Homo-oligomer: A and B are copies of this chain.
């Protein structure tokens, strides 16, 4: 018995994380014969695919953050808690949260996603800037704009270069998209807002360990993306690993050093470990090994979906990619299975249906591969917008966001270049 949540006769499902997986699952379970408790550190869902636009001052945080309470305003037997999970006891079936303390569960769904992976490099972790949350994207925006402001009054050439140049590590969709958006900023915004700066002094580097960008796409799409970025003036460096970073010097595996005050780290993700889980549940990248029903191997009534889950099967020995589509499909499958359980119906094994892969490169350009069809350019960009819109919750939200995007994208000069920090909260 716990007093911090209302009691009911219904079985309680506790979902940790309100990302694509957790939110979708929660929405699919509304109206079911379960009590649902959704726990997240933030009070909003973050629409990750557009974070790069927040970082480059193209969209407001509120355009890609959805207050969770608003989504579930009308639901009964539904509870949202804004808290952090410290540990789990899978024998006694309860969680310990940072503020609330003990929360019991009947079924637990781990959907806590994945964090930035610095591959154990403590220097990089301390000095690089990640972009896995809206908070981080906002910090990046503040830093980019703040450094432009500072550069205005710096007469020392070397120091000014450090402030103006930006190094991005990781040639996946995040790295490619932020590189494209920064190149656009250099092209369209810099000459207008900072005409005292010499645009040619701004260098944007995109560094990748492999021999092609967007490795998940075909060679053709990868080459297309690279060509687009090169056309936009991005310096693409392949087959190169960043070995170290001290806040200024980016040391590359070939021994070269690039000087920059901003290292954007989009080189990989790893799931975190949750205290209380046995060591044998963790697979590659600390992802939780699950069976075909997303149940964590060896544990009862504990499920994992989304980026933190790893489902390895005979015909899929590497598991599915850590993308929003997998997360949402797993959530839908698990919701159906949990409802089936109540009706003693059989469980349906999960199979990922790859709907395609895409990435935008700056304004009006994108590469896309849908059902084996590869295309790029403006139509690919429109498709990208459409597919992402479809992933956003609620018809009303879809419309609102679409208007937001249309205005944001076509005016070319949003009034959003604010270096904004809430004053530190007192009395906390």
Q: Is the CB of A135 within 8 A of B73?
A: no
Q: Is the CB of B413 within 8 A of A70?
A: yes
By a CB distance below 8 angstroms, the chain B residues around A146 are: 82, 425, 428
Those of A63-115 within 8 Å (CB) of chain B: 65-67, 69-70, 73, 79, 81-83, 99-100
By a CB distance below 8 angstroms, the chain B residues around A194 are: 69
Q: Once the chains are docked, how many angstroms separate the CA of A245 from the CA of B69?
A: 32
Q: Once the chains are docked, how many angstroms separate the CA of A141 from the CA of B196?
A: 37
The answer to whether residues A415 and B62 also contact, given A135-B423, A425-B142 and a CB cut-off of 8 A, is yes
Q: Is the CB of A138 within 8 A of B67?
A: no
By a CB distance below 8 angstroms, the chain B residues around A149 are: 43, 81-82
* A317 interfacial by beta-carbon distance below 8 Å: no
Q: Is the CB of B133 within 8 A of A427?
A: no
Q: Is the CB of B418 within 8 A of A44?
A: yes
CB-nearest residue of chain B to A416: B62
By a CB distance below 8 angstroms, the chain B residues around A9 are: none
CB-nearest residue of chain B to A5: B153
A128 to chain B, nearest CB (A): 8
Those of A396-427 within 8 Å (CB) of chain B: 397, 400, 413, 415-427
Q: Once the chains are docked, how many angstroms separate the CA of A43 from the CA of B128?
A: 24
Which of A82, A127, A146 is packed against the most chain B CB atoms within 10 Å?
A: A82
Q: Is the CB of B155 within 8 A of A420?
A: no
Number of copies: 2
A43 to chain B, nearest CB (A): 5
Contact of A43 among B6, B82, B133, B145 (CB under 8 A): B145
Q: Once the chains are docked, how many angstroms separate the CA of A83 from the CA of B153?
A: 10
* A184 interfacial by beta-carbon distance below 8 Å: no
Q: Is the CB of A423 within 8 A of B136?
A: yes
Q: Is the CB of A422 within 8 A of B425?
A: no
Please give the residue numbers on chain A whose beta carbons come within 8 Å of chain B beta carbons, in ascending order. 3-6, 42-44, 60-62, 65-67, 69-70, 73, 79, 81-83, 99-100, 126-129, 133-136, 138-139, 141-143, 145-146, 149-150, 152-153, 155, 192-194, 196, 247, 261-262, 397, 400, 413, 415-428
Task: Sample 30 A-B pairs with CB under 8 A, ordered by A number.
Answer: A4-B152, A4-B155, A5-B153, A6-B196, A42-B419, A43-B417, A60-B62, A62-B415, A67-B193, A67-B417, A67-B418, A69-B194, A70-B193, A70-B415, A82-B146, A82-B149, A83-B153, A100-B153, A126-B426, A128-B426, A135-B423, A138-B420, A138-B422, A139-B425, A143-B425, A143-B426, A143-B427, A143-B428, A247-B426, A422-B422
Given contact pairs A4-B152, A67-B416, A128-B426, a sample of 5 additional A-B residue pairs in the complex whose CB atoms are under 8 Å apart: A43-B417, A44-B420, A62-B415, A82-B419, A146-B428
